[in-house]
């Protein structure tokens, strides 16, 4: 098994942290091999960014994502740049308030930022999305991600981040996947 996962967005959305949490959950708590690389624009906030994970049940010989099996898009720029670099049948998850997909593309939409705002902090949209990713893909057990969240976020923000993860995991849209 080898899966390539790309999380894309812009600086300030917690893309790198989402990648770290998912990578930690898959490696330390699920026993898989994981390599993460990241790229980001010249600005600390507002520039394009991505976290790229290669996950396998054997040694990883090539650490870069070439054709993502899973694409998470927090921004239109991320979707537009990386959808063509994903497999045609990739699982595509989008923040529906920030991304307008191609009409022919099957996507799994979630209002991640809106849900995070409802929880009181827009910045936890990344954890909302991770919950949704896990719900849609079944990549790991929820407990694995909870443990990774507890280990990687500031202690005083753990309850909020766990609530955000739970909200994303429980999100049930009317129909899925959607053809926009």
Domain extent listing, the chain: 2-175
pLDDT of residue 179: 44
Cα–Cα distance, 172 to 29 (Å, whole number): 26
pLDDT of residue 178: 47
pLDDT of residue 83: 93
Task: Name the architecture of domain 2-175.
Answer: 3-Layer(aba) Sandwich (3.40)
Q: What is the pLDDT along the chain (180 residues), one digit of tens a residue?
A: 899 999 998 877 889 899 999 999 999 988 999 999 988 765 555 567 889 999 999 999 888 899 999 999 999 988 998 999 999 999 999 999 999 999 889 999 999 999 999 999 988 999 999 999 999 998 899 999 999 999 999 999 999 999 999 999 999 665 444 444
The tens digit of pLDDT for each residue in 157-173 reads 999 999 999 999 999 66
DSSP per-residue string spanning 50-103: EEEEEEESS--S--S-SSEEEEEESSHHHHHHHGGGEEEEEEEEEETTT----T
């Amino acid at each position: 098994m080898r899966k390539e996962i790309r999380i894309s967005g812009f600086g300030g959305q917690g893309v790198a942290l989402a990648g770290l949490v998912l990578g930690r959950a898959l490696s330390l708590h699920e026993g898989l091999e994981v390599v993460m690389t990241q790229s980001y624009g010249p600005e600390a906030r507002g520039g394009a960014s991505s976290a790229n994970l290669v996950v396998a049940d054997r040694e990883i010989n090539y650490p870069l994502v070439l054709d993502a099996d899973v694409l998470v898009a927090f921004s239109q720029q991320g979707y537009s740049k990386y959808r063509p670099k994903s497999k045609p049948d990739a699982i595509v998850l989008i923040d529906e308030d920030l991304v307008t997909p191609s009409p022919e593309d099957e996507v799994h939409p979630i209002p991640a930022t809106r849900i995070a705002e409802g929880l009181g902090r827009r910045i936890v949209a990344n954890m909302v999305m991770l919950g949704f990713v896990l719900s849609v893909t079944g990549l790991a057990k929820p407990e694995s991600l909870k443990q990774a969240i507890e280990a990687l976020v500031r202690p005083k923000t753990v309850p909020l981040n766990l609530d955000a993860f739970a909200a994303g995991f429980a999100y049930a849209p009317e129909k899925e996947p959607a053809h926009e």
